[in-house]
Amino acid sequence: MDMDEAEATAAHELTHACLAHLPLPLWLNEGLAVTMEHAICNYRLHNRHERLPEHTAFWNQATMQGFWSGDAFGQPDEGSSLSYELASWCVQALVRDYDAFAAFANEASFEDAGNSAAITHYGFNLGVLVEQFLGRGTWRPDPSAWPR
């Protein structure tokens, strides 16, 4: 592991350590960690438009529930890397309103992927957030569809 990779890993994992006291959904936890990793280490995130075809080909109603439940992050397929990337895009979109984001992040729960906190602090469900990247679809978290 070279020094740049070690610094990025440290920034990512230290972000997780700072968030450990919150019951965050995995997408938000990883989205924050990836965003901080890139910000601290001056890494360039992939241009969203470069990777959008891969995202639109992969995500559907079923795979999106894996994103919200956290299951997609541990999959051995492309869904894992796409999950980290989508999580980062979501965080970057939400953090534009820092006050709303801080309140949202402090209230978001893994139980519903943070959906009720998004409605409270942004006035929309998380499906609407994802629509700005993937277009119209059934993207809203549905905890009843998640494996127990």
Residue 8 has pLDDT above 80, yes or no: no
The confidence band for 112, taking pLDDT boundaries of 50, 70 and 90, is very high
Ranges of H-type helices in 20-147:
26-41, 48-58, 61-69, 78-94, 98-107, 115-122, 126-134
62-94 pLDDT, tens per residue? 999 999 999 999 998 899 999 999 999 999 999
Residue with tokens 């959906």: 115
pLDDT in tens, 15-34: 778 888 999 999 999 999 99
Torsion of CA 128, 133, 55, 121, to 10 degrees: -40
| Domain ranges (residues) in the chain | 3-145
Closest CA to 85 of 117, 126, 50, 109: 50
Mean confidence (pLDDT) of the chain: 90
